[in-house]
A and B are shown apart, each in its own frame.
Chain A
């Protein structure tokens, strides 16, 4: 049966749209009377003890779901790979904690903290005591504070304790190692294939990768770098596949994926730093002349030269923030759509929220590719500007 004619009618389309909007309203209306009746019920109870009991019960039960904290916790780095469950009962992969302390190197597994992230569980290692508070490791205080945490806090609720240098294999580092291993296995195999079958047609996995490699060469490197493109191909291919692969791995919601690697500003900073170093060190005399002696009247120099110098640094900084913000925004968007169910406290939202989250996931597949492409093409553009031979002014 072909039902497509239904969607071709404009009237039915508008009706469907209005129906979807109104279904939202009815859900809200359904949610409201419940809270109203609850309020009335609470008001009618006037006994002191009962009221006190009620207040305590509502405090634990009706505590507003803190969406912001939940989402930020999920996009942040962690010391163990969480699978499922809450608090004490959570199941996850413990990861090694590597600390450089005043007394040298200390290592132990993150399972030693027994899923504690409030600084309540003290781990003793190498004669020193550590606590974990909001995924940061501190030297433990001798006595617990009023909340039972072995840290001293200042008036802003930030821990004042000293921190050891943390070189732990965190969730992000673990994911990074996984993706780098996969990339190395794939690309060493593909490179061997090219060596073995030079000038012949590709075979096996090589055939799958070749169109993408040609895309990077023909659409990214050649138009921006000119005839000197070959020298920069290794960097462009590495950065393209690294970003693309990590973006895709970040979209997988379960074990080897799920870490927010390219949505971590430190990772994108290193990538942007690589572009910055390559641009700066391959800049020719025309590039530097354009910065320090721009083709403007001499009295404009006090304005133009600082602007051009700042421009050297803003370009990689924009690269860094663009990738970080795009991937982080994608993760936040998907998590907040799922969180809608918990905000409305109504399972009836799920049929709307889940398909919408799936739709956004599909858009994110496109974004994963586009951001890898944008980062690579802008890197190529910046390098191309630095190695350009002549200027037509």
Chain B
């Protein structure tokens, strides 16, 4: 049972990260369409922001893995 609950937690975190990365990607697209000349700068900033959001989801995966030790 512990494993399955941990998996639900990881799934919930993935929903949050998905929303976050979706917003970042969408806004970056908007920005690039408005200012194509700033595309490379926007891309760099987008990757950094995405990494921060993604890290949260991965923390959840790590916690889920650590919690996944059924006896």
CB distance B58 to A321 under 8 Å?
A: yes
Closest to B71 in A: A156
Interface status of B28 (Cβ within 8 A of chain A): no
CB distance A377 to B59 under 8 Å?
A: no
CB distance A370 to B71 under 8 Å?
A: no
CB distance B44 to A325 under 8 Å?
A: no
Interface status of A244 (Cβ within 8 A of chain B): no
Q: Which residues of A contact B47 (CB under 8 A)?
A: 370, 373-374
CB distance A318 to B44 under 8 Å?
A: no
CB distance A321 to B44 under 8 Å?
A: no
How far does the alpha carbon of A378 sit from the alpha carbon of B55 in the complex, in Å? Answer: 13
* Interface residue ranges of B25-65 to A (CB < 8 Å): 44, 47-48, 51, 54-55, 58-59, 61-62
Decide if the interface of chain B is mainly helix, strand, loop or mixed: helix
Which residue among B48, B55, B59 has the maximum number of chain A CB atoms within 10 Å of its CB? B55
B14 CB to closest chain A CB, in angstroms?
Answer: 11
Q: Which of B44, B51, B61, B71 is in CB contact (< 8 Å) with A329? A: B61
Q: Which of A219, A318, A325, A378 is in CB contact (< 8 Å) with B61? A: A325
Closest to B68 in A: A68
B17 CB to closest chain A CB, in angstroms?
Answer: 12
How far does the alpha carbon of A321 sit from the alpha carbon of B57 in the complex, in Å? Answer: 11
Closest to B3 in A: A68
How far does the alpha carbon of A78 sit from the alpha carbon of B61 in the complex, in Å? Answer: 23
Mask of A348-391 contacts with B, CB within 8 angstroms, 1/0: 00000000000000000000001001100110000000000000
How far does the alpha carbon of A377 sit from the alpha carbon of B71 in the complex, in Å? Answer: 42
Q: Which residues of A contact B68 (CB under 8 A)?
A: 68
Q: Which residues of B contact A219 (CB under 8 A)?
A: 44
CB distance A329 to B58 under 8 Å?
A: yes
Closest to A325 in B: B58
Mask of A124-143 contacts with B, CB within 8 angstroms, 1/0: 00000000000000000000
CB distance B51 to A325 under 8 Å?
A: no
How far does the alpha carbon of A324 sit from the alpha carbon of B58 in the complex, in Å? Answer: 9
Q: Which residues of B contact A156 (CB under 8 A)?
A: 71
How far does the alpha carbon of A324 sit from the alpha carbon of B71 in the complex, in Å? Answer: 26
How far does the alpha carbon of A378 sit from the alpha carbon of B58 in the complex, in Å? Answer: 17
Q: Which residues of B contact A370 (CB under 8 A)?
A: 47, 51
Interface status of A163 (Cβ within 8 A of chain B): no
CB distance A322 to B48 under 8 Å?
A: no
Sample 11 A-B pairs with CB under 8 A, ordered by A number.
Answer: A318-B55, A321-B55, A321-B58, A321-B59, A321-B62, A322-B54, A324-B62, A326-B54, A377-B44, A378-B48, A378-B51
- Chain A residues proximal to chain B, CB less than 8 Å: 68, 156, 219, 318, 321-322, 324-326, 329, 370, 373-374, 377-378
Can you list the 3 inter-chain pairs with the closest CB atoms, starting with the nearest? A325-B58, A374-B51, A322-B55
